[in-house]
Amino acid sequence: MPQTRKKLPNGVSKKDASAGQPASLLPGFEESCLPATADTVRHLTPGDHIPGLQKALLDWFAVHQRALPWRVSYTPYEVWISEVMLQQTQMERGVSYFLRWMQRFPDVATLAAAHEEDVLLLWEGLGYYSRARHILAAARKIMAEHGGVFPSDLASIRALPGVGPYTAGAIASIAFGEKLPCVDANVERVISRIFDVDSPVKQEPAAGVIHRWALKLVPEGKSREHNQAMMELGALVCRKKPLCGACPLAAFCISHHLGIADQRPVPGKRAVIKPVNAVTGVLRIGKNIFVQKRPPSGVWGNLWEFPGGRVEPGESPEQASVREFMEETGFEVRVTANYGVIRHGYTTYRLTLHCFGLELMNPCGGAEAEKYSEACPPPLQLTAAQQYKWTTPEELENLAMPAAHRKLADSLFNKPAATSDEPASATVRQARLTE
């Protein structure tokens, strides 16, 4: 029984549908990701048709590229900041952070002169705070060693703090036009499908194969456009669930030709997400709130937090909160309120944070007790921090905090007050977000 052909959309002739481009690229006639057949398009082996593949990709990018703020002038500084921000960050969120960053730190000199706490505060919510500290260190190195001019050679770019091979290649190719590939997760996905790379892309030999093809595909004099087009294609079309019918490279794609595009890239071993059960306590005296600043190195370095830690086996969250506060500050406290639970997802662990309101155990009585209740004493010790502060809710907004602690602070101090018959814990529970 002969196969039934799809009806072409109005205004598209059979001649148009076969005139050197796949029918799937014609408006209203997008094929699904099934094996290519004679009724769709003739397969072109990618390695033998690189110029055609390059042209198809660039033509598509010229029409479909997104209007992004760092694509206006392509300054090295803007390219650098955008590339670092977009690591582990969704595009829409990255754009808003980028615009806010450029208003505050429009150039390398302004950034280099900034205080680290101001940088961390502006970075708050993007996570991986070591990236922000590296950006600040790199800006200061550019001022000290390059006269404030962003270096253009790959070795000098690579020598900047926090700049790895991918970021260095992106800056060199997109800002300076160097013939280098940019291989991020989007590009890995595109190349693994086009060339049917059949082993885990993050491991050898697949990683080397992908990098070699990525370099070979970069056209002379078009590295900026090509690299962005590859990343854009992976983000918009060659996604985890591929839209092969809308892909400008479908004719060249071996995986599409074989009908296995959804089986590429081959995944590696998934990271185990570890659950972390922890507590934190908000100690208040009048309008003052106790916070402490974490050490420069380690998790959440140089960020402000409410003291706390992990729940030990055999103890309740309330008991853990009292114990952790004593161990970290020397303060004897008691629980006065249960603010509920905040859950926050990180790359390798899932945090369940039990939140409590605390007050100091009052060692005095009578008139002395009233006087003591208004004082803000220094902690007897700081075993998990480098600095402490009694702060107000208004001042708290200007301190850089880890995401889970910021959620707690916002729910307690910056959100509309709960109604009289609504417990404080309900307000926190509304703030359970996963980023």
DSSP sequence for 25-74: GSTT----SSPP-TTT-----GGG-HHHHHHHHHHHHHHH----GGGTT-
What mean pLDDT do residues 247-271 have?
Answer: 93
Are 134 and 61 found together in one domain?
Answer: yes
pLDDT number for residue 145: 97
101 inside domain: yes
Q: Which of 258, 289, 318 corresponds to the end of one domain?
A: 258
Backbone conformation region of residue 286, classed left if phi is above 0, alpha if psi is from -120 to 50, else beta: left
Q: In terms of domains, do 168 and 66 share one?
A: yes
pLDDT band, very low/low/confident/very high, at 426 (cuts 50, 70, 90): very low
> Do both 305 and 384 map to the same domain?
yes
| 288 in the same domain as 235 | no
- Read off the pLDDT of each residue in 10-28 and give the average, rounded to a whole number: 36
Please count the CA atoms within 13 angstroms of the CA of 318 that sit on its side-chain side: 7
pLDDT mean over 232-252: 96
Query: Has residue 26 been placed in a domain?
Result: no
Report if residue 250 sits inside a domain.
yes
pLDDT over threshold 60, residue 368? no
Of 85-89, 316-320, 416-420, the one with minimum mean pLDDT is 416-420
| Distance in angstroms (rounded) separating the CA atoms of residues 385 and 395 | 19
Q: With CA atoms as reference, report the closest residue to 189 among 227, 259, 237.
A: 237
Q: CATH code at 404?
A: 3.90.79.10
81 and 225 fall within a common domain:
yes
Burial-class residue 83 by CB neighbours within 10 Å (0-12, 13-18, 19+): buried
| Beta partners for residue 359, in sequence order | 334
Provide the pLDDT for residue 179.
Answer: 96
CATH number at residue 164: 1.10.340.30
| pLDDT of res. 2 | 41
The beta strands (E) that lie in 55-141 are given as none
* Among 30, 31, 78, 83, the one annotated catalytic: 83
Clarify whether residues 252 and 151 are in a common domain. Answer: yes
Task: With beta carbons less than 8 A apart as the criterion, state whether 286 and 374 touch.
Answer: yes
- CA-to-CA distance for 36 and 43, rounded, in angstroms? 7
Question: Do 176 and 152 touch, CB atoms closer than 8 A?
Answer: yes
Flag whether 318 is in a domain.
yes
Phi, psi of 16 (to 5 degrees): -60, -40
Residue 43 — pLDDT band, cuts 50, 70, 90?
A: confident
Q: Could you tell me if 187 and 72 lie in one domain? A: yes
Q: Identify whether residues 344 and 202 lie together within a single domain.
A: no
Q: What is the predicted pLDDT for the residue at 175? A: 96
Mean pLDDT of the chain: 85
Query: How far apart are alpha carbons 22 and 31 in whole angstroms?
Result: 10
The answer to whether position 125 is within a domain reads yes
pLDDT range class, residue 34, cuts 50, 70, 90: very low
What pLDDT is stored for residue 363 in this prediction? 52
Tell me, yes or no, whether 208 and 333 share the same domain.
no
Of the three residues 232, 258, 284, the one that is the final residue of a domain is 258
State the total domains in the chain.
2
Regarding whether 315 and 231 lie in a shared domain, the answer is no
Question: Would 3 be classed as within a structural domain?
Answer: no
Of the pLDDT bands very low, low, confident and very high (cuts 50, 70, 90), residue 325 is very high
Whether 3 has a pLDDT exceeding 80, the answer reads no
Q: Is residue 423 part of a domain?
A: no
The pLDDT tens digits of the residues spanning 90-128 come to 898 999 999 999 999 999 999 999 999 999 999 998 888
Same-domain status, 279 and 329:
yes
| Residue 293 contacts residue 388 (beta carbons within 8 Å) | yes
Q: Which domain holds residue 319?
A: 274-363+377-413
Token code pair at residue 290: 């106790």
* pLDDT surpasses 70 at 347: yes
Q: Say yes or no: 50 and 197 in one domain.
A: yes
pLDDT reading at 26 higher than 60:
no
pLDDT of amino acid 374: 57
What pLDDT was estimated at residue 433?
29
What is the mean pLDDT of the segment spanning 178-195?
A: 96
Q: Which residue has the higher pLDDT, 17 or 162?
A: 162
Kindly report which listed range (36-40, 355-359, 369-373) carries the lowest average pLDDT score.
36-40
Q: Give the pLDDT score at 431.
A: 33
Rg (CA), the chain: 28
- pLDDT at residue 138 above 60? yes
The per-residue pLDDT for 65 is 96
pLDDT of 85? 94
CA 336 – CA 328 distance, rounded (Å): 19
pLDDT digits (tens, 9 = 90+) for 55-70: 999 999 999 999 999 9
- Which comes out higher in pLDDT, residue 120 or 39? 120
| 114 found inside a domain | yes
Three-state secondary structure readout of 281-350: EEEEECCEEEEEECCCCCCCCCCEECCEEECCCCCCHHHHHHHHHHHHHCCCEEEEEEEEEEEEECCCEE
Flag whether pLDDT at 8 surpasses 70: no
Count other C-beta atoms under 10 Å from residue 9's C-beta.
12
Please indicate whether residue 83 is annotated as part of the active site: yes
